[in-house]
Structure 1
Amino acid sequence: MKAVVMAGGFGTRIQPLTNSRPKPMLPVVNVPMMEHIMKDLVSLGIEDIVVLLYYKPEVIKNYFGNGERIGARITYVLPEADFGTAGAVKKAQKYLDETFIVVSGDVITDFDLREIVGFHEFKNSKLTITLTSVSNPLQFGIVIKDKDGKILKFLEKPSWGEVFSDTINTGIYVIEPEVLDYIPENVPFDFSKDLFPLLMEKGITLYGFESEGYWKDVGNPDAYREVNSDILNGNVKLQIPGKAVKYPEGILFLQGDVKVPESVRIKGTVVLGDGVELGDGTVLENCIVGERSRIGRRCKLKDTVIWEESTLGDDVSMRNCVVCDRVDVGSRVSALKGAIIAEKVKIEDDVRIEKDVVIWPEKFVESGSIVSSNLVWGEKWKRSIFEGGEISGRTNVELSPELAAKLGAALGTTLPEGSFVIMSRDYHRASRMIKRAFLSGLLSTGVNVIDMKKFPKPAMGYVLKNNGAISGIHFEASSSVPGHNDIIFLDEFGIRIDTAKEKAIERIFFREKFRKVGPSEVGIIKEELYGVEEYVKGIKERIDDKIKQPRFNIVVDLMNGIFSDVYPELLAHFKVNSIVLNSYESEEKLMQYPTVKSKSLRDVPKIVKSTSSDVGFIIHPGGERLAVVSDSGEVIGNHLLLLLFLKTIDDALDKRVKAYVPVSCPSVIDESLKKVNIERGKFRGISQRLLKEYFFIGDLEGKFIFPEFSFSPDAVYSSIKFLELLSFSGKRISEILSEIPEFFFTHVIINCPLSKKARLMRKLSEEALERRASFIDGVKIFFDGDWILFIPDQFTDKLHIFVQSVNEERGRELLESYRELVSNWIEGKE
């Protein structure tokens, strides 16, 4: 039997620990991670190991050499490009002429590899996947198998809405060599995304073995700290190298020539590398110190990992920290709430490092400094700074001008030099401040800017779709959290950027590998190349001037948003009689959005009813969300509003069209629609190519898109388009609503800790297998005329539950029965 060790990853999420070494070479108890797994392979009796390289290959080659030191023959394979996991193994096919095991070089595990191989042989399997259960499966491939171990379903790196299990693919495979014939040459090809579906299509049974024991993917700094802590606390069956010396309060492992003064206290488990020097009176508790590092006198270190050749002065206090190679820390430095100090950092005396600070390579911190800004990443931004194509943070706290400039430089580095980016903002002064800082960072990378200045976000979407630029960035005061600002990133079609583009920006941002151009290549600024007039002109060209109903009487609340000048002009052009409220700018009201919204929802229905108007519109400040009041003076709930749009389109058009809605959209009118074909799916990551196929896209938040005009939600265009469609239908809103069958619909949100989400979705998936179900987005279970849908929130510890039923009694009963079931599962009750 042979083995393949995957050791080619970039280690982006674990930056800056991987600044100068690949992730598999990060030290764990002073031994490279991949050495632990390679020694396990050798103990299995494997003599031939193929190591697949890519990022910093020379570091791995120089350390392991030909493999003689660990008792193996190592063959190195370096693909000329990134061909994916399976594609990389294909490059080693000529060395793999018998059964082989594939393992990742960047995990720590104490799985019994003999059991995995034995299961593979017992099942006479062509390919066996090693499985385990985790609390957060988002970075892995999730799997469902039957009681015999046959793989039934899997999905690579799901969103929370796609999670149907907490059982994941660990990346440990046992494979027969003929399987490699199914992998194409010289093209990107992954195991989970490409090879596994192909094999199942070919009728080849894949087996999964759920292994018991410890397994952790060391994918980020927190995981790195945790895995070292787990080893020191005895949670992993891993032999710590070195001579064990017992102390009254702990045990010390000496990995070479180390002299420990009698005054040094050892608590818990401590590992010291060769040549370590310790000062008198120092206390070490659950610590690892690498070769040739020096710790001064009276230091207090707990749960801390120090790499090679670093120096700490006297009276240094650290807890839950990682100190990388060749760091120089002065005296009386404290970091008691966790810190990552990257290689070659110099910190002078009397410095205090605040919670969760990351100090990047080769930085200098002056004496007496308090390191709390600029390099402080809050809990929210530890794993990702993006949420759905936007970045949101407290103004001048997380979202400071310094950070905005770095974000601009990170975006610019991902774009071609000389390309154009369109930028816009709302009228709040904080948005202007953040935008100007971002713009400076962007220009520094040689990217040009078309500065629209104060400009509506939906209009930006229109400009991008119809005029072209490589990207668009919009800045606005948050409508959901007072005191926050949002930065929205749009692609060349006006669609929020996808996760691939987010990760590309994050990779540059966290590594601080910004492109810097010379003075003559700095980007230029063109101001207002496209004005709001072009947006207004676009609406006028696409809406029928000859609205059949001569006059609409409407009430509009613009909520002091950015469309205050635009909307009245459009209403006048289309000869709509209107009462327009709050059509002026007010920074104060922008920051009091919840109060302004509540007042609008009270006032507009009263005015519609008292004036016998045909409709009331509420345009939320950002211009994306629309609320509608019927001619009877009732605020139409978001789920009914979506159905109203679909029904009005069906009544108005004389041709068949397609509409795209979320899985949570009520289905009570599906069969009655004659012109509209409804498709349901996920909204994150929809491509421009797919959007073009639809006449209408709508969600349950009052955001509507008509791709004939734009690929972005646009409350202004949607409201004017609705008037056009309403006039073509010849009906009043109340009449259309009366044609929708009565039904019960509710949306409730319950707390669900992140650590419980995956297990909960697995239990729901198992429950759903007993009935008709859908797994397009979350888990949707169907009953006779009813359904219940569970979607974990993508960004918070919440679970969304949607219920549709023929009446309220049945709906409430269904909701409560499952809410009790879900609560028991969250609490760990079966």
Structure 2
Amino acid sequence: MSEYSAIVLAAGEGTRLRPLTQNRPKPMLPAATKPILEHVFDQLIDAGISKFVVVVGYRCDRVQSYFGSTYRNVPITYVTQKKQLGTGHAVLAAESEVDDTCLVINGDQIVDSRIVADTIARHDSAAAATIALLQRPNVEPYGGVRIGEDDVATEIVENPRDGYGYYLNAGVYMLEPAAFDAVRSAEPSFGEHHLFEGLSKLIDSGETVRGTVSEGLWVDATYPWDLLDVSFELFDRGVVTSSPVISGRETTVHDEAIIRDPIILDQDCAIGPDAVVGPYVCLGENTTVGANAVLERSVVDDDTTIGANATVVDCVTGTGVEIGPGSTIPGGPGDVRVGDTVYEDEALGAVLADRVTDRGGVTYVPGALVGPETEIQSGATIRGTLAGGTEVRS
């Protein structure tokens, strides 16, 4: 099999995932105990990709400092998209770093290596581009593709609402030089160049754009509560193996703690006596769960402390969070406001962004979103959305 480079699109913020993305881009948010982008790299390597060209932008330092110049012996070249002007703009920014045929993939969605491998295998020089497709009941939030004879794409639509039968665009593409030219010449929409518009131009001009229908894991986090579903899907699909103790690492689980699988712990974690942890819990590096605490269905990022006798259910934390003793996050469902829209009955207890501190005895109303650097005094009740840097008194 030929060796290919992959352009990995990792420049966006992920505004609908605020407040978790106020300090880092969406690709660096946790899926289980490691960033989404790391899962993407793993799947690309498993599919045989030999070089990464990573397009970074928003908080690019978080990506570059984490991965450096190589990942699992695969070299990484970084290209900076100074203004996020669409996926097409990002692809063109990386064009000079790849030779001829290359793969393009979104860096903020986890895609099974089988999908990548199927796309590579189906592509040939008769097509200017090949798109990975999935059968999904609802493609409206994403992109849709219709195909005809010999899997030739006949239409590419973003957020289709016309009722036709579309396959889901999985965000994995094999591109020939002609595809770059089409993206370059396509008219921008609202000041942005989109990859799908360039591919649509190829179709309209009579060039062959092929779709290949594949199977395998494909998960995306659009809203904060989706990070729970993404991590749980990784458990259920066997991508993440339940492991309360990682061999050779300083992780301590007290003999009287109760562990309910599935659960995964990173290094330097500690779980105290009579704590109940799991099911569906991901603990990042250097996290602590105090005595008699209850932790269920949650993704807890690095350097977080959950105090004694606290209850935490359906929760996503950023890094450096402190949940004080006796605090209660009872779990969803709850109503969550994202921008001007309220999403009702979502399975979310609370989101606590980086370095939130509660002093104990705090009660969180389901659906609460707490911005970074917020300090909450003992006995307070938290509901709705709190901006970062807020001080809440009881």
User: TM bucket by the smaller chain?
Assistant: 0.7 to 0.9
Tell me the equivalent position of 2:132: 130
Tell me the equivalent position of 1:81: 83
Deviations 1:568-599, CA, capped at 9 Å, x for gaps: xxxxxxxxxxxxxxxxxxxxxxxxxxxxxxxx
Deviations 1:636-674, CA, capped at 9 Å, x for gaps: xxxxxxxxxxxxxxxxxxxxxxxxxxxxxxxxxxxxxxx
Deviation at 1:254, TM superposition (A): 5.7
State which structure, 1 or 2, has the greater radius of gyration over its C-alpha atoms: 1
Where is the helix percentage greater, Structure 1 or Structure 2?
1
Q: Distance in 1 between matches of 2:85 and 2:385?
A: 34
1:330 matched to 2:340? The reply is no
> Conserved in 2, the CA contact under 8 Å of 1:111 and 1:211?
no
1:108 matched to 2:118? The reply is no
> Conserved in 2, the CA contact under 8 Å of 1:303 and 1:320?
yes
Tell me the equivalent position of 2:60: 57
> Conserved in 1, the CA contact under 8 Å of 2:183 and 2:194?
no
| 1:282 counterpart (275, 284, 293) | 275
Deviation at 1:74, TM superposition (A): 0.9
Q: How does 1:479-498 map to 2 (within 5 A)?
A: none
Tell me the equivalent position of 1:41: 44
Tell me the equivalent position of 1:177: 177
Amino acid at match of 1:238: V
Tell me the equivalent position of 1:191: 195
- Normalised to the residue count of structure 2, the TM-score between the two structures is 0.86
Deviation at 1:147, TM superposition (A): 4.8
Identity %: 27
Amino acid at match of 1:309: D
Q: How does 1:613-692 map to 2 (within 5 A)?
A: none
Q: Distance in 2 between matches of 1:257 and 1:124?
A: 54
Tell me the equivalent position of 1:258: 251
1:314 matched to 2:308? The reply is yes
Runs in 1 of length 4+ with deviation above 4 angstroms? Answer: 251-255
Secondary structure in 2 matching 1:226 = helix
Specify which structure has the bigger relative contact order, considering alpha-carbon pairs within 8 angstroms and separated by 6 or more residues. 2
Amino acid at match of 2:234: I
Q: Distance in 2 between matches of 1:257 and 1:42?
A: 29
Q: 1:166 to 1:144 in 2, by over 3 A?
A: closer
Q: Number of matched residues? A: 363
Amino acid at match of 1:144: R
Q: How does 1:355-754 map to 2 (within 5 A)?
A: 355-372=366-383, 374-375=384-385
Tell me the equivalent position of 2:362: 351
Deviation at 1:215, TM superposition (A): 0.7
Deviation at 1:31, TM superposition (A): 1.3
> Conserved in 1, the CA contact under 8 Å of 2:134 and 2:215?
yes
Tell me the equivalent position of 1:212: 215
Q: Distance in 2 between matches of 1:276 and 1:237?
A: 22
Q: 1:168 to 1:80 in 2, by over 3 A?
A: same
Tell me the equivalent position of 2:239: 238
Secondary structure in 1 matching 2:151 = coil
Q: Distance in 1 between matches of 2:200 and 2:321?
A: 47
Q: 1:269 to 1:90 in 2, by over 3 A?
A: same
Q: Distance in 1 between matches of 2:213 and 2:154?
A: 14
| 1:342 counterpart (353, 363, 372) | 353
Q: 1:330 to 1:239 in 2, by over 3 A?
A: closer
Q: 1:271 to 1:97 in 2, by over 3 A?
A: same
Where is the strand percentage greater, Structure 1 or Structure 2?
2
Note the aligned Cα RMSD (angstroms): 2.2
Q: Distance in 1 between matches of 2:259 and 2:381?
A: 30
Deviations 1:314-365, CA, capped at 9 Å, x for gaps: 0111111112111111111111121111111111221211111111212222
Q: Distance in 2 between matches of 1:375 and 1:179?
A: 43
Q: 1:307 to 1:141 in 2, by over 3 A?
A: same
Structure 2 gaps, min length 5: 332-348, 390-394
> Conserved in 2, the CA contact under 8 Å of 1:110 and 1:237?
no
Q: Distance in 1 between matches of 2:41 and 2:198?
A: 25
Deviation at 1:109, TM superposition (A): 2.4
Structure 1 gaps, min length 5: 246-250, 377-510, 514-830
Q: Distance in 1 between matches of 2:198 and 2:371?
A: 38
| 2:17 counterpart (14, 19, 27) | 14
Tell me the equivalent position of 1:782: none
Deviations 1:515-549, CA, capped at 9 Å, x for gaps: xxxxxxxxxxxxxxxxxxxxxxxxxxxxxxxxxxx
